[in-house]
Structure 1
């Protein structure tokens, strides 16, 4: 049997569908828990109640990309989606002779680190980050004997159809015509679009490196970029408002989630970015999001 297909676990999510489009119908097989295929024209299989996959499907695949997972929920939900599912799939894949598994991982494993490279200590601050860290350690422990695993850590992902935290930030800027930033420490953040993340994961599914890698758009998101996009796409003039450090410290103390979103940087060192140093689609997608908001 020829091994020439790539299984996309979690194909009904935003990233999973981006992966299907990136790989194409001849290469990708959509894998979900639901009975319906997420996109028409793709072969589709269901995950069993025990997280199993059909043996015939495993027998024809050259790689598995696991894009399934839960970002929110209680600990049992996190463990079921983020640890138990990839464990079962990886064990079955290794036994079936599948040569490669790519695990979608997250910068959340590194907590609030503002500079990220391959030496940054793991300090997850929530259940999602902890479950992703445990999944990485477990999967990398299964690597070997002709079965390679690459865990690709991704930052905040967004698209026009799924803007996430960018949507309230754009609304805030439009309403008040200001963007607050910490005085002397302007926010700079690594991000990546769903489409660009899908491309990096598809590249990772090819034979090659194993272990932990990082991928982000080399073009950093900052408030200057957002203000320029709003000015050029909507005509709105947005002022970047420096907030005194004492006030930022107070927000960090009493409203840490808000403080992290508004004021904390998170920058991937270019030397460890598997995406290289040429800007991807972040700015274009941001401008389209501004136009559609």
Structure 2
């Protein structure tokens, strides 16, 4: 499996994987190229990272469906006809929905938002193509953190850099994330051992928002004071419910089934992953 066609090569996961692993990569851009232009000569596997993710402006579901369902399924069909052996989709825990506080590979999927719905439809379409000659691998990931990663953890890093007193003390929730190094390691294991099926990628330990902020501050060598202000949580829930949910809500992932299937041990724990992120590695 030395020759890999990668989509979304300019995105965070695609770029990181190419930087960390030494395959022969062929790149394909859904934005700038047509599916008819794809060449599968000597390609062993397709790593599909491209996706339309959550949009700030209103975006019709049809657009999510076109990019997140039709493109990967059509790409996989072409790959299978060309004799490619494996297709790996980077999916999301958004396929499980919004309300669950604990989940594993057997948790029932009930996506609420267009992104999660379209990713689940893509998974279903791709898994229909799976057989002895064409391995389909689905990797469901939570929020990814690491050097230059987009998302909420980067916002927390900026907050810690800016403030010395932060009103997010004594939060006792549990949230699972995955470092980009651990995610790329799982992708590589799935390619190396040609494993099919659904895999749930996460760091082994779920941590609280307060603990996450403490780890960020520690690695920034920044002295902070985490305080608990009684009315702050209720005010935030009233004014910004989505932010409140991310900061105070729990979303804990049990990745034991995936680890057993892959005989996997994550190379980094949460503390090491945060250190790598802050150090820019």
Q: CA deviation at 1:289?
A: 4.7
Equivalences for residues 3-42 of structure 1 within 5 A: 4-24=2-22, 26-33=23-30
Q: Secondary structure at the match of 1:89?
A: helix
Residue 62 (structure 1) aligned to one of 29, 44, 47: 44
Report the equivalent of 1:37.
Answer: none
Q: Structure 2: which 5+ residue stretches go unaligned?
A: none
1:177 equivalenced with 2:148 (yes/no): no
1:129 equivalenced with 2:129 (yes/no): no
**In 2 relative to 1, CA 291–58 (structure 1 residues): closer, same or farther, beyond 3 Å?**
closer
Residue 93 (structure 2) aligned to one of 107, 113, 119: 107
Deviation per CA, 1:178-209, whole angstroms, max 9, x where unpaired?
252686xx122211122321221122123443
Q: Counterparts of 1:61 and 1:83 in 2: how far apart (Å)?
A: 22
- In the superposition, the TM-score normalised over structure 2's length comes to 0.83
Q: Secondary structure at the match of 1:52?
A: helix
Residue 280 (structure 1) aligned to one of 254, 268, 276: 268
- In the superposition, the TM-score normalised over structure 1's length comes to 0.80
Q: Structure 1: which 5+ residue stretches go unaligned?
A: 35-46
Larger relative strand fraction? 1
Q: Counterparts of 1:135 and 1:220 in 2: how far apart (Å)?
A: 28
Equivalences for residues 110-259 of structure 1 within 5 A: 110-112=96-98, 113-173=100-160, 174-175=162-163, 177-180=165-168, 186-222=172-208, 223-231=210-218, 233-241=220-228, 252=237, 255-259=240-244
Report the equivalent of 1:265.
Answer: 250
Report the equivalent of 1:40.
Answer: none
